[in-house]
Amino acid sequence: MLIGKIRFRDRNWSAGLDGISGPVAPRLGSPCQGWWAGVMAGWGAIALVATSATSATSAETLSVTYGSIQAQVPVEEVELFAQTGQLTGELAQYGGLFPAAQRERFRAILQRTVPLDATLVSQLVYSPTGEIILDRLGQIIQEPNGNGAAALGAGLVQAAASPEGLNLVSLLRQFPAPAVQLNGEVAVAMAEAVGQRLQERDRWVSAVEAQAAQAAQTQPLPPDATAQLTQPGKYTWQRLSFNWVDSSRPGESGSPLGRAVPTDLYLPQPGNAQAAANQPVPLVLLSHGVASNRQILAYLAEHLASHGIVVAVPEHVGSNGSKFQRYFEGVAEPPTPREALDRPQDLSFILDQLTALQLADARIPERLQVDRAVAIGQSFGGYTALALGGAELNLATLRQACQGGKPEDLLNLSLLLQCRLGELDNSIPALKDERVAAVLAVNPFTSRVFNPAGLGAMQVPLMVVAGGADFVVPAVEEQLAPFAGLTGANRYLALLRNGTHFSVLGEPAPEDKALPIAASVVGPHGDVAREYLEALSLAFVLRHGLGDRSYDAYLTPAYGQALSRPEMPLSVVQSLNQPE
């Protein structure tokens, strides 16, 4: 939440909520507006809000320090500028240094309201994860006594409760200290880190696209390359719902019955040519992300089922949308690091259940490939699929990598979740399931929780899908660089240049949203991203779940280029060299 735009005598840069500009870096796209602050959030100390957020004090000045340089602007001048666009007093001296277009963009940032109510903000702010975020932001946005974390948290809650809602102006009004002090040196370091990461992202994206284009020149296209895999298949299907419970693991809130694993099974109907010929039937396990549910990727399950593939979609009850809704309502405990173990075990438990059902339920195909399942997951679900496929956690290296903490860490919000997994004890059960024949991971986090050795331990075929505009789980650190370190055959990377962390998700029903996500964060052209995922997933499953080598032609850079559309460029590579 960088406040304002500043020009120092010895450095020229400008910063706002929507980016960094000037010689330091190109413009950064819209951030996730704190969405990930609630991801894996711990139990909040709500009482702290009542004591620390009731002060009548509010900030009167915005003070910027950089070494011996200090500049002060009355908050009322910032408010007037936000309301009218008029520059007065001290603000006129600094604001006049910037072009009119930048000033208007900054004014729009000041007015932008985040659609979160005070109760939800208090839960986010005073959760363990939220406190980490505030502590790091408090190194930049300070109060007169130093780190501004406590005042920032209180101001956020009060601003969210104000009539105008949570925006930068209301935050300034509610900041419970006489001055908001911006530490220019830390802010400059943060800006430089942003610039470096953006430049690094551009280098990697360019490298992927160049390598894909070069490889595509020598590859033939399969027949009907642009349509075959994106169209619905010839099979009708039905959805069966099972309320399974794994009695071998503890359930939510200490339930004596065990861990609930509600599962939807998308089942192609009997009577088709495949069933009549008694051919093998491929199986997919589909794992949703955190604060989500099994409906968010239902479109993908339906597409695969229409092509004769059985799809099992569990609800991970310890980290789903319903769990977060109950947590925010104060009637449930928060998600715990144990969820990183329970999620892969949910999928293994489903394989056990399906094996048993093959003998007891005539609706389950006899030749369902339970021993050659393909695990597909998005975000935390991507981690889940990777762990199930043999990627190895190493708590010692994870804990070492997570020591300390700088504001720059907030540029990769997945680190907050990954580092929480370091709280697990050392007795980690084996998560790899030999019945998983291949893994497709969409927007997964990998850098700390697996590291290169842990990810390299996975021997099954792997496809990684990355979004170039993902600011929650950044593609370079979490997908592109790790993929470049992998060796062996049957490795695929699909890069959506403009893809965000949420591009491939279906449209959730309003009641399914644990946290509202702004349209600017979701990003445009989700329909195109979903079409890509449908086609690539289908080819990957039929090749590595069913063993049909004719689909090799659909897992190539040439097919990626044929499928690609200008509004959401797609590049597919089978190996990746680190850019120079």
* pLDDT single digits (tens) 193-227: 888 999 999 999 999 999 999 999 998 888 776 67
The confidence band for 386, taking pLDDT boundaries of 50, 70 and 90, is: very high
The DSSP letter of residue 371 is G
Give the pLDDT score at 121: 85
Q: Which of 26, 17, 529, 123 is nearest to 299 (CA)?
A: 529
399-442, pLDDT tens digit by residue?
Answer: 988 887 778 888 898 998 899 899 999 888 999 999 999 999 99
d(Cα 414, Cα 214) in Å, to the nearest integer?
A: 33
Question: Which of the listed CATH numbers 3.90.1150.10, 3.40.50.1820, 1.20.140.10, 3.30.9.10 matches domain 219-573?
Answer: 3.40.50.1820
Buried b (16+ CB within 10 A) or exposed e, 419-451: bbbbebeeeeeebbbebbbbbbbbbbbbbbbbb
Q: How much is the average pLDDT of 495-522?
A: 79
Lookup result for tokens 């502590």: 135
Q: How much is the average pLDDT of 167-184?
A: 89
Give the pLDDT score at 512: 62
Rg (CA), the chain: 25
> Hey, where are the domains in the chain?
14-196, 219-573
Q: Could you tell me what percentage of the chain is helix, strand and coil, using 3-state DSSP and rounding each to the nearest 5?
A: 40, 15, 40
Q: How much is the average pLDDT of 128-143?
A: 86
Apex CA 498: angle with CA 492 and CA 501, to 5°? Answer: 75
529-556, pLDDT tens digit by residue?
Answer: 999 999 999 999 999 999 999 999 999 9
d(Cα 315, Cα 293) in Å, to the nearest integer?
A: 6
Asked if 152 and 141 touch (Cβ cutoff 8 Å), the reply is yes
Distances in Å between the alpha carbon of 580 and those of 207, 476, 486, 574, 577?
9, 14, 18, 19, 9
The confidence band for 330, taking pLDDT boundaries of 50, 70 and 90, is: low
DSSP-assigned letters across all residues of 515-529: S---HHHH-S-HHHH
Give the pLDDT score at 328: 64
Length of the chain: 580
* pTM for this predicted structure: 0.84
Give the pLDDT score at 45: 25
43-84, pLDDT tens digit by residue?
Answer: 222 222 223 333 446 789 988 887 777 888 999 999 999 999
| Greatest Cα pair distance in the chain | 82
Assess whether pLDDT exceeds 70 at residue 10: no
Give the pLDDT score at 22: 29
Assess whether pLDDT exceeds 60 at residue 97: yes
316 three-class SS: coil
The DSSP letter of residue 114 is B
Lookup result for tokens 């600017």: 520
d(Cα 352, Cα 315) in Å, to the nearest integer?
A: 16
Lookup result for tokens 């910027």: 64
Assess whether pLDDT exceeds 70 at residue 304: yes
3-state secondary structure 317-355: CCCEHHHHHHHHCCCCCCCCCCHHHHHHHHHHHHHHHHH
Q: Which residue has the higher pLDDT, 47 or 557?
A: 557
Average pLDDT over all residues of the chain: 84
